[in-house]
Amino acid sequence: MKRLWIAGASALLSMALGLGSAGAADKKVLAFVVNGASDFWKIAEAGVKKAQGELPDYNLQLKYPEQAAAAVQQRMLDDLVAAGAAGIMVSAVDPKNQTEHLNKIAGQTVLLTTDSDAPQSKRVAYIGSSNVELGKDAGKLMLKALPNGGKCVGFVGLLGADNARERIEGVKETIKGSKVELVDVRGDEIDQTRAKRNVEDALAAMPDVSCLVGFYSYNTPRIYEVLKEAGKLGKIKIIGFDEDPITLGGVKDGAIDGTVVQQPFEWGYQGMKLMAKVVQGDKSGVPANGIIIVPGKVIDKSNVDDFMAQMKQMLKK
């Protein structure tokens, strides 16, 4: 089912960007390689689509690996380089252990990172969130939701990815010295079935848990589903990341205390525009430290309606 979704998404994006035309074969390719199948990336696709409208001389592609595994992603990067891609922007599955391979890619094409940086690699720039700051925002939501303290369990896709590690670091830094504890974080390798089972297992193992935190976009919806099925919505606090429709609906109805969102639309749009300039030899848009932060925001019941309206308009474009 996962592969069908990926194929369908790629086909739709290709149609939307006009990549199926004969002329597209003559244009330089700029590719955006994500870390796994998730609806989160549909927002980035909308940004790529907008960039395509402003970069008619390029063929923009958004690629999903068949599996959220470093080896699979690396083969995809190798294939893009072999096919002559002029530039690649990637959310690395395992940045630390992929550095050597990313350096090889950077030696053959323009390489940018997004979402989860690979700071030790030779990438030209990182464009995305400060995941530590996002984690701090989540930590503040946890403190607000649990004024008397409590045990929390986190759930994430890729425990080794920088975005996961830094979000957890930000949470821990914020709740340090309080009565709120993050006692465990469970990874699922971006496997939806495993993500849901992790929540079920945590509830069974820790009946006194007070708060569940979804660190990746799909983790919070799985938390919501499990608590709903168990009749525990409203009894256990939920803190989320990103703007999945289930998450936003839960914030709206009060079952989820809040979610920390990013701006993947801007990653797709600004990232592709920057990559095109670098390909042309213009690095004026790259800061000295190579880091471009697109700020996130906290969504709670007070602003969720306005945010949902903005999202609806954005995805129409």
Closest CA to 148 of 173, 179, 124: 179
pLDDT value at position 7?
Answer: 39
Predicted confidence (pLDDT) at residue 73 exceeds the cutoff of 80: yes
Percent of residues, the chain, with pLDDT higher than 90: 83
Q: Where are the domains of the chain?
A: 2-129+263-286, 131-261
pLDDT value at position 159?
Answer: 93
Name beta bridge partners: 116: none
Rounded Cα distance, 278 and 269, in Å: 15
Between residues 257 and 315, the one the model is more confident about: 257
Structural fold of domain 131-261: Rossmann fold (3.40.50)
131-261: same fold as 2-129+263-286?
A: yes
pLDDT value at position 10?
Answer: 44
Rounded Cα distance, 24 and 271, in Å: 20
Rounded Cα distance, 183 and 205, in Å: 12
Name beta bridge partners: 237: 211
Q: Which long-range contacts (CB under 8 A, 24 or more apart) does 97-102 make?
A: 97/70, 97/160, 98/70, 98/73, 98/74, 101/74, 101/77, 102/77
Rounded Cα distance, 52 and 257, in Å: 37
Rg (CA), the chain: 20
Q: How confident is the model at residue 197 (pLDDT cuts 50, 70, 90)?
A: very high
Q: 162-176, pLDDT tens digit by residue?
A: 889 999 999 999 999
Read off the pLDDT of each residue in 250-272 and give the average, rounded to a whole number: 96
Read off the pLDDT of each residue in 293-314 and give the average, rounded to a whole number: 94
Torsion of CA 128, 132, 136, 137, to 10 degrees: 10
* 3 state SS of 33: strand
Read off the pLDDT of each residue in 3-20 and give the average, rounded to a whole number: 41
* 3 state SS of 150: strand
Does residue 279 contact residue 231 with C-beta atoms inside 8 Å? no
Read off the pLDDT of each residue in 147-159 and give the average, rounded to a whole number: 97
Predicted confidence (pLDDT) at residue 294 exceeds the cutoff of 80: yes
Q: 277-286, pLDDT tens digit by residue?
A: 999 999 999 9
- Which residues touch 211 (CB under 8 Å, ≥6 apart)? 142, 145, 146, 150, 151, 152, 153, 180, 236, 237, 238, 239
Looking at residue 173, its amino acid is: E
pLDDT value at position 123?
Answer: 98
Q: Tell me the HSE value of 130 on the side-chain side, using a 13 A CA sphere.
A: 11
Read off the pLDDT of each residue in 198-225 and give the average, rounded to a whole number: 97
Predicted confidence (pLDDT) at residue 148 exceeds the cutoff of 60: yes
Q: 172-196, pLDDT tens digit by residue?
A: 999 999 999 999 999 999 999 999 9
What is the dotted CATH code of the domain comprising 2-129+263-286?
Answer: 3.40.50.2300
Does residue 151 contact residue 210 with C-beta atoms inside 8 Å? yes
Q: How confident is the model at residue 26 (pLDDT cuts 50, 70, 90)?
A: confident
pLDDT value at position 317?
Answer: 61
Residue 70, burial from CB neighbour count under 10 angstroms (0-12, 13-18, 19+) = buried
Predicted confidence (pLDDT) at residue 15 exceeds the cutoff of 80: no
What's the chain's average pLDDT? Answer: 91
Predicted confidence (pLDDT) at residue 309 exceeds the cutoff of 90: yes
